[in-house]
Amino acid sequence: MTCNSFRGTGITNFLQHGGDIETAARITGHASTRTTQLYDRRNDIVNQGEIERTRF
């Protein structure tokens, strides 16, 4: 666990619950929204259907 992992979790959670990237950048003190977007992990979330397709 690092500070960046907590930051990524917080930003992702904020965006999942309706926050916008500009506000997230302002909250985190980023000068650019491009930096904030690096912490946005919404596309990294795996859903149950994807897991169930895995066969062993």
Question: How confident is the model over 7-23, as a mean pLDDT?
Answer: 96
Q: What is the pLDDT of residue 28?
A: 95
Most confident region among 38-42, 43-47, 49-53 by mean pLDDT: 38-42
Cβ contact 31:2 at 8 Å: no
Q: What is the pLDDT of residue 39?
A: 94
CA-to-CA distance for 11 and 5, rounded, in angstroms?
10
| pLDDT over 80 (residue 10) | yes
Q: What is the pTM of this model?
A: 0.75
| pLDDT over 80 (residue 33) | yes
Tokens of 5: 């992992």
**End-to-end alpha-carbon separation of the chain, Å?**
30
